[in-house]
Amino acid sequence: MKFQGSENYVATQDLMLAVNAAITLKRPLLVKGEPGTGKTMLAEEVAQALNMPLLQWHIKSTTKAQQGLYEYDAVNRLRDSQLNTADSAQRVQDIRNYIVQGVLWQAFTADQPVALLIDEIDKADIEFPNDLLRELDRMEFYCYETHELIKAKHRPLVFITSNNEKELPDAFLRRCFFHYIKFPEADTMKKIVDVHFPDLKQDLLTAAMKTFYDVRNLPGLKKKPSTSELIDWLKLLMAEDIPVEALQSADSKVSIPPLVGALLKNEQDTTLFEKLVFMNQRNR
Ligand SMILES: Nc1ncnc2c1ncn2[C@@H]1O[C@H](COP(=O)(O)OP(=O)(O)O)[C@@H](O)[C@H]1O
Ligand SMILES: [Mg+2]
Protein backbone atom coordinates (compact mmCIF):
# COMPACT_ATOMS: atom_id res chain seq x y z
CA MET A 1 0.00 0.00 0.00
CA LYS A 2 1.56 3.24 -1.12
CA PHE A 3 0.03 6.66 -1.67
CA GLN A 4 1.29 8.48 -4.72
CA GLY A 5 -1.01 11.46 -4.97
CA SER A 6 -4.09 11.55 -7.14
CA GLU A 7 -5.35 13.43 -10.13
CA ASN A 8 -7.67 15.58 -8.00
CA TYR A 9 -5.23 16.29 -5.26
CA VAL A 10 -1.78 17.82 -5.40
CA ALA A 11 0.41 16.19 -2.77
CA THR A 12 3.93 17.43 -2.22
CA GLN A 13 6.73 14.89 -1.87
CA ASP A 14 6.96 15.30 1.89
CA LEU A 15 3.22 14.87 2.31
CA MET A 16 3.28 11.58 0.39
CA LEU A 17 6.23 10.50 2.50
CA ALA A 18 4.28 11.28 5.66
CA VAL A 19 1.23 9.31 4.53
CA ASN A 20 3.38 6.30 3.71
CA ALA A 21 5.30 6.60 6.97
CA ALA A 22 2.04 6.48 8.92
CA ILE A 23 0.97 3.42 6.93
CA THR A 24 4.29 1.69 7.63
CA LEU A 25 4.27 2.55 11.32
CA LYS A 26 0.57 1.67 11.60
CA ARG A 27 0.07 4.87 13.53
CA PRO A 28 -2.47 7.63 13.05
CA LEU A 29 -1.34 10.44 10.76
CA LEU A 30 -1.84 13.77 12.49
CA VAL A 31 -2.18 16.51 9.89
CA LYS A 32 -2.02 20.12 10.91
CA GLY A 33 -2.16 23.28 8.84
CA GLU A 34 -4.15 26.41 8.20
CA PRO A 35 -7.81 25.89 7.32
CA GLY A 36 -8.24 25.21 3.63
CA THR A 37 -4.86 23.57 3.05
CA GLY A 38 -6.45 20.28 2.05
CA LYS A 39 -6.34 18.27 5.29
CA THR A 40 -9.81 16.80 5.06
CA MET A 41 -9.46 16.26 1.36
CA LEU A 42 -6.20 14.37 1.93
CA ALA A 43 -8.02 11.65 3.88
CA GLU A 44 -10.67 11.40 1.16
CA GLU A 45 -8.10 11.15 -1.59
CA VAL A 46 -5.84 8.66 0.16
CA ALA A 47 -8.81 6.44 0.97
CA GLN A 48 -9.89 6.56 -2.64
CA ALA A 49 -6.41 5.96 -4.00
CA LEU A 50 -5.91 2.95 -1.74
CA ASN A 51 -9.41 1.73 -2.46
CA MET A 52 -10.62 1.86 1.11
CA PRO A 53 -14.00 3.05 2.34
CA LEU A 54 -13.66 6.21 4.42
CA LEU A 55 -15.45 6.63 7.72
CA GLN A 56 -15.62 10.25 8.81
CA TRP A 57 -16.01 11.64 12.28
CA HIS A 58 -16.37 15.41 12.34
CA ILE A 59 -15.58 16.71 15.79
CA LYS A 60 -17.54 19.53 17.44
CA SER A 61 -16.95 21.32 20.72
CA THR A 62 -19.49 19.03 22.36
CA THR A 63 -18.22 15.73 20.92
CA LYS A 64 -17.23 13.11 23.49
CA ALA A 65 -14.82 10.24 22.88
CA GLN A 66 -17.46 7.71 23.91
CA GLN A 67 -19.65 8.76 20.96
CA GLY A 68 -16.99 7.39 18.63
CA LEU A 69 -17.19 4.00 20.35
CA TYR A 70 -20.89 3.54 20.98
CA GLU A 71 -23.84 5.03 22.81
CA TYR A 72 -26.52 3.29 24.77
CA ASP A 73 -29.98 4.55 23.82
CA ALA A 74 -31.75 4.24 27.18
CA VAL A 75 -34.63 6.50 26.16
CA ASN A 76 -35.60 4.31 23.26
CA ARG A 77 -35.42 1.21 25.41
CA LEU A 78 -37.65 2.75 28.05
CA ARG A 79 -40.15 3.72 25.41
CA ASP A 80 -40.18 0.23 23.96
CA SER A 81 -40.68 -1.25 27.40
CA GLN A 82 -43.78 0.90 27.85
CA LEU A 83 -45.22 0.32 24.41
CA ASN A 84 -46.69 -3.06 25.18
CA THR A 85 -46.69 -4.45 21.68
CA ALA A 86 -45.37 -7.88 20.86
CA ASP A 87 -42.76 -6.34 18.66
CA SER A 88 -41.45 -3.94 21.26
CA ALA A 89 -41.52 -6.58 23.98
CA GLN A 90 -39.27 -8.70 21.84
CA ARG A 91 -36.92 -5.84 21.08
CA VAL A 92 -36.53 -4.96 24.73
CA GLN A 93 -35.19 -8.44 25.46
CA ASP A 94 -31.96 -7.74 23.63
CA ILE A 95 -29.92 -4.78 24.82
CA ARG A 96 -27.95 -4.86 21.59
CA ASN A 97 -30.93 -3.25 19.89
CA TYR A 98 -30.18 -0.09 21.83
CA ILE A 99 -26.46 0.14 21.24
CA VAL A 100 -25.73 2.83 18.67
CA GLN A 101 -22.41 2.05 17.05
CA GLY A 102 -19.92 4.88 16.69
CA VAL A 103 -17.39 5.29 13.88
CA LEU A 104 -14.66 3.41 15.72
CA TRP A 105 -16.96 0.46 16.25
CA GLN A 106 -17.85 0.50 12.56
CA ALA A 107 -14.20 0.81 11.56
CA PHE A 108 -13.12 -2.02 13.86
CA THR A 109 -15.80 -4.42 12.73
CA ALA A 110 -15.61 -3.70 9.00
CA ASP A 111 -14.81 -6.73 6.86
CA GLN A 112 -12.18 -4.91 4.86
CA PRO A 113 -9.52 -2.40 5.93
CA VAL A 114 -11.00 1.09 6.10
CA ALA A 115 -9.70 4.61 6.48
CA LEU A 116 -10.94 6.59 9.45
CA LEU A 117 -10.93 10.37 9.56
CA ILE A 118 -11.15 12.14 12.90
CA ASP A 119 -11.59 15.65 11.57
CA GLU A 120 -10.68 18.80 13.52
CA ILE A 121 -9.78 17.09 16.76
CA ASP A 122 -8.81 20.43 18.26
CA LYS A 123 -12.49 21.46 18.33
CA ALA A 124 -13.23 19.11 21.21
CA ASP A 125 -12.30 19.69 24.82
CA ILE A 126 -8.83 18.97 26.10
CA GLU A 127 -9.69 15.51 27.45
CA PHE A 128 -10.95 14.21 24.14
CA PRO A 129 -7.64 13.08 22.60
CA ASN A 130 -6.53 11.44 25.85
CA ASP A 131 -9.82 9.58 26.09
CA LEU A 132 -9.15 7.95 22.74
CA LEU A 133 -5.53 6.99 23.38
CA ARG A 134 -6.12 3.44 24.44
CA GLU A 135 -8.64 2.67 21.74
CA LEU A 136 -6.41 4.00 18.99
CA ASP A 137 -3.36 2.27 20.42
CA ARG A 138 -4.77 -1.16 21.11
CA MET A 139 -7.49 -0.96 18.46
CA GLU A 140 -10.03 -2.43 20.82
CA PHE A 141 -12.53 -1.41 23.47
CA TYR A 142 -15.05 -3.04 25.72
CA CYS A 143 -18.80 -2.63 25.52
CA TYR A 144 -20.06 -3.00 29.09
CA GLU A 145 -23.72 -3.26 28.18
CA THR A 146 -23.29 -6.27 25.94
CA HIS A 147 -20.13 -7.61 27.60
CA GLU A 148 -18.23 -7.85 24.36
CA LEU A 149 -14.77 -6.85 23.37
CA ILE A 150 -14.80 -4.92 20.10
CA LYS A 151 -11.48 -5.63 18.49
CA ALA A 152 -10.33 -4.40 15.11
CA LYS A 153 -10.48 -7.11 12.46
CA HIS A 154 -8.20 -4.93 10.36
CA ARG A 155 -6.27 -1.99 11.66
CA PRO A 156 -7.88 1.10 10.13
CA LEU A 157 -5.74 3.79 8.52
CA VAL A 158 -6.38 6.74 10.80
CA PHE A 159 -6.20 10.40 9.81
CA ILE A 160 -6.49 13.05 12.45
CA THR A 161 -6.66 16.71 11.46
CA SER A 162 -6.18 19.81 13.54
CA ASN A 163 -6.43 23.50 12.75
CA ASN A 164 -4.13 24.21 15.65
CA GLU A 165 -6.73 25.92 17.82
CA LYS A 166 -5.57 23.91 20.83
CA GLU A 167 -2.39 22.12 21.83
CA LEU A 168 -2.71 18.35 21.90
CA PRO A 169 -1.47 16.31 24.87
CA ASP A 170 2.05 14.84 24.67
CA ALA A 171 0.89 11.29 25.30
CA PHE A 172 -1.38 11.60 22.31
CA LEU A 173 1.29 13.14 20.07
CA ARG A 174 3.72 10.36 20.92
CA ARG A 175 1.42 7.86 19.22
CA CYS A 176 0.95 9.74 15.96
CA PHE A 177 3.02 10.44 12.93
CA PHE A 178 2.92 14.18 12.43
CA HIS A 179 2.79 16.28 9.30
CA TYR A 180 2.30 20.01 8.95
CA ILE A 181 0.90 21.08 5.58
CA LYS A 182 2.75 24.29 4.85
CA PHE A 183 0.84 26.92 2.96
CA PRO A 184 1.53 26.12 -0.70
CA GLU A 185 4.21 28.09 -2.49
CA ALA A 186 3.30 29.65 -5.80
CA ASP A 187 4.33 26.70 -7.96
CA THR A 188 2.42 24.15 -5.88
CA MET A 189 -0.52 26.52 -5.83
CA LYS A 190 -0.43 26.72 -9.62
CA LYS A 191 -0.68 22.93 -9.75
CA ILE A 192 -3.61 22.95 -7.33
CA VAL A 193 -5.44 25.57 -9.37
CA ASP A 194 -4.68 23.61 -12.50
CA VAL A 195 -6.37 20.54 -11.03
CA HIS A 196 -9.53 22.58 -10.47
CA PHE A 197 -9.49 24.75 -13.59
CA PRO A 198 -7.44 23.13 -16.33
CA ASP A 199 -8.67 25.69 -18.88
CA LEU A 200 -7.88 28.83 -16.93
CA LYS A 201 -6.04 31.44 -19.02
CA GLN A 202 -2.42 31.75 -17.94
CA ASP A 203 -2.38 35.56 -17.79
CA LEU A 204 -5.48 35.64 -15.60
CA LEU A 205 -3.97 33.00 -13.33
CA THR A 206 -0.68 34.87 -13.00
CA ALA A 207 -2.43 38.16 -12.21
CA ALA A 208 -4.86 36.54 -9.77
CA MET A 209 -2.09 34.67 -7.98
CA LYS A 210 -0.10 37.87 -7.62
CA THR A 211 -3.08 39.65 -6.09
CA PHE A 212 -3.77 36.66 -3.86
CA TYR A 213 -0.24 36.50 -2.43
CA ASP A 214 -0.17 40.31 -2.10
CA VAL A 215 -3.32 40.12 0.01
CA ARG A 216 -1.95 37.23 2.04
CA ASN A 217 1.28 39.06 2.73
CA LEU A 218 -0.43 42.19 4.00
CA PRO A 219 1.00 42.77 7.46
CA GLY A 220 -1.64 42.81 10.18
CA LEU A 221 -4.28 40.84 8.34
CA LYS A 222 -6.71 39.15 10.76
CA LYS A 223 -7.56 36.25 8.51
CA LYS A 224 -5.40 35.26 5.60
CA PRO A 225 -7.25 33.86 2.60
CA SER A 226 -6.69 30.15 2.04
CA THR A 227 -6.32 27.82 -0.92
CA SER A 228 -10.03 27.11 -1.02
CA GLU A 229 -10.76 30.85 -1.05
CA LEU A 230 -8.42 31.37 -3.98
CA ILE A 231 -10.30 28.64 -5.79
CA ASP A 232 -13.66 30.26 -5.00
CA TRP A 233 -12.38 33.60 -6.18
CA LEU A 234 -11.04 32.20 -9.44
CA LYS A 235 -14.34 30.48 -10.03
CA LEU A 236 -16.08 33.85 -9.66
CA LEU A 237 -13.58 35.67 -11.86
CA MET A 238 -14.24 33.12 -14.57
CA ALA A 239 -18.01 33.12 -14.12
CA GLU A 240 -18.16 36.90 -14.30
CA ASP A 241 -15.70 37.00 -17.16
CA ILE A 242 -13.50 39.52 -15.40
CA PRO A 243 -10.72 40.69 -17.74
CA VAL A 244 -7.08 40.47 -16.66
CA GLU A 245 -6.84 44.26 -16.81
CA ALA A 246 -9.19 44.52 -13.85
CA LEU A 247 -6.56 42.75 -11.74
CA GLN A 248 -3.51 44.56 -13.05
CA SER A 249 -3.38 48.32 -12.98
CA ALA A 250 -1.17 49.64 -15.76
CA ASP A 251 1.54 50.84 -13.37
CA SER A 252 1.42 47.54 -11.46
CA LYS A 253 0.46 49.33 -8.24
CA VAL A 254 -2.04 47.62 -5.97
CA SER A 255 -5.69 48.20 -6.66
CA ILE A 256 -8.79 46.77 -5.03
CA PRO A 257 -9.44 43.51 -6.83
CA PRO A 258 -12.94 42.67 -8.03
CA LEU A 259 -15.03 40.34 -5.85
CA VAL A 260 -12.57 40.75 -3.01
CA GLY A 261 -15.24 39.37 -0.66
CA ALA A 262 -14.14 35.91 -1.70
CA LEU A 263 -10.72 36.56 -0.17
CA LEU A 264 -11.21 38.98 2.71
CA LYS A 265 -13.81 37.98 5.25
CA ASN A 266 -13.98 40.82 7.73
CA GLU A 267 -14.30 44.58 7.60
CA GLN A 268 -10.99 45.27 9.40
CA ASP A 269 -9.09 43.39 6.72
CA THR A 270 -11.01 45.11 3.92
CA THR A 271 -10.32 48.51 5.47
CA LEU A 272 -6.66 47.65 5.90
CA PHE A 273 -6.43 46.66 2.29
CA GLU A 274 -8.25 49.78 1.07
CA LYS A 275 -5.94 51.98 3.12
CA LEU A 276 -2.93 50.37 1.52
CA VAL A 277 -4.37 50.85 -1.94
CA PHE A 278 -5.17 54.47 -1.13
CA MET A 279 -1.63 55.15 0.13
CA ASN A 280 -0.16 53.53 -2.93
CA GLN A 281 -2.26 55.73 -5.17
CA ARG A 282 -1.25 58.90 -3.33
CA ASN A 283 2.41 57.99 -3.55
CA ARG A 284 2.33 57.88 -7.29
N1 LIG B 1 -3.48 19.96 -2.41
C2 LIG B 1 -4.68 20.25 -2.93
N3 LIG B 1 -5.06 19.77 -4.13
C4 LIG B 1 -6.26 20.08 -4.65
N5 LIG B 1 -7.18 20.86 -4.06
C6 LIG B 1 -6.87 21.39 -2.85
C7 LIG B 1 -5.62 21.10 -2.21
N8 LIG B 1 -5.59 21.76 -1.03
C9 LIG B 1 -6.76 22.39 -0.91
N10 LIG B 1 -7.54 22.19 -1.99
C11 LIG B 1 -8.87 22.76 -2.20
O12 LIG B 1 -9.24 23.42 -1.01
C13 LIG B 1 -10.48 22.91 -0.52
C14 LIG B 1 -10.45 22.86 0.98
O15 LIG B 1 -9.73 21.78 1.42
P16 LIG B 1 -10.04 21.06 2.80
O17 LIG B 1 -9.52 19.68 2.70
O18 LIG B 1 -11.46 21.22 3.17
O19 LIG B 1 -9.13 21.93 3.79
P20 LIG B 1 -8.95 21.78 5.34
O21 LIG B 1 -9.59 20.49 5.75
O22 LIG B 1 -7.46 21.79 5.51
O23 LIG B 1 -9.58 22.98 5.96
C24 LIG B 1 -10.64 21.56 -1.17
O25 LIG B 1 -11.98 21.23 -1.35
C26 LIG B 1 -9.94 21.75 -2.50
O27 LIG B 1 -10.85 22.34 -3.41
MG1 LIG C 1 -11.15 20.29 7.03
Which residues neighbour 75 within 8 Å (Cβ) at sequence distance 6 or greater? none
Q: What is the pLDDT of residues 69-127, one digit of tens each?
A: 999 999 999 999 999 899 999 999 999 999 999 999 999 999 999 999 999 999 999 99
* Among 164, 180, 196, residue at a domain's last position: 180
The answer to whether residue 205 is domain-embedded is yes
pLDDT reading at 33 higher than 70: yes
Q: Are residues 30 and 171 in the same domain?
A: yes
Domain residues for the domain of 90 are: 13-180
95 alpha carbon – ligand 2 mean position (Å): 36
- What's the rounded mean pLDDT across residues 25-34? 96
The answer to whether residue 7 is domain-embedded is no
Q: Are residues 27 and 161 in the same domain?
A: yes
Q: Are residues 191 and 173 in the same domain?
A: no
* Among 120, 150, 180, residue at a domain's last position: 180
What is the C-alpha to C-alpha distance for residues 200 and 205, in angstroms, rounded to an integer? 7
Q: What is the pLDDT of residues 155-210, one digit of tens each?
A: 999 999 999 888 999 999 999 999 999 999 999 999 999 999 999 999 999 999 99
The answer to whether residue 202 is domain-embedded is yes
Closest CA to 50 of 111, 3, 107: 3
The answer to whether residue 8 is domain-embedded is no
Q: Are residues 35 and 110 in the same domain?
A: yes
pLDDT value at position 251?
Answer: 58
262 alpha carbon – ligand 2 mean position (Å): 18
Task: Name the 3-class secondary structure at 98.
Answer: helix
The answer to whether residue 4 is domain-embedded is no
Ligand 1, residues 6, 15, 37: which to mutate, most atoms within 8 A of Cβ?
A: 37
Q: Are residues 190 and 262 in the same domain?
A: yes
Ligand 1, residues 8, 44, 228, 234: which to mutate, most atoms within 8 A of Cβ?
A: 228
The answer to whether residue 250 is domain-embedded is yes
State if residue 227 touches ligand 1 by the CB under 6 angstroms criterion.
yes
Q: How many domains does the chain have?
A: 2
Q: Which residue's alpha carbon is at the smallest distance from atom 27 of ligand 1?
A: 228
Domain with residue 53: its CATH number is 3.40.50.300
Q: Which atom of ligand 1 is nearest to the CA of 8?
A: 4
